[in-house]
Structure 1
Amino acid sequence: MQIEPTRNASEAEIGSDTYLVDQVLEQRKKAPSDAISQDLPISEQLAALRAEIGRLAESASLIAGEATAIVAQAPARLRFEGERQFHKRPVIALLAIGILSFHLAQALFGRSRRMR
């Protein structure tokens, strides 16, 4: 048995995935002492929890898939952005490449004896 979410906009969002929480809160607002005696059977609660876990697992896998796609596209985006900046400001780009090359060579090979 699946419990429908409440449709009152002041109590819960329309189409909320937290329909069990909404129902429990609604029951407790009506009669706090009666809410405990009217709880759903354990089997139905477990089925609802399993369904919620399934939805959460699906959401997590979708998020992981999107993150993987974003990471896979990052090198191409960085290359495109670098090329765009190079064509937009070629003198500054050449100057930046020269400075980075100098510092990289200095880090790899150390300072020359003339610079000491």
Structure 2
Amino acid sequence: MAALFTMAVQIERLSLMDMLAAVGHASARARLSKLLLDFRARLSPLGLVEHDVFDLPLTQEMLGDLLGLTSVHVNRTIRDMEREGLIARSDHRIKLLDVPKLQSLSPLPLRQLAFEPAWLPQPA
């Protein structure tokens, strides 16, 4: 169990390092694109993404805290991305309408994490 927990912590650490790098060098659109793609990548294996739609129960203030932006700037960026046909939102649901374009905006490529638990000891 400790090994699985360690792997989960390391995956989270990589994600945080990527977001920190993005905050230092990327535009608001790029940061938001990276965050939305990251949410999609994390939620997909759990079966929580269907046709590029997922729940995002975070306020714009929370998103701003994650991205290093004000809630006003987050709101403006989301509206701009909606107008451009990149995303659509309804209540707390987000639909990624143009994933390739979002990927091109993202300041860092998504990591393809591979975790093979075969090396873990079998439970007794």
TM-score tier after normalising by the smaller chain length: under 0.3
Relative to its length, the structure with more helix (as a share) is: 1
Relative to its length, the structure with more strand (as a share) is: 2
Q: TM-score scaled by structure 1?
A: 0.24
- Relative contact order higher in (CA < 8 Å, ≥ 6 apart): 2
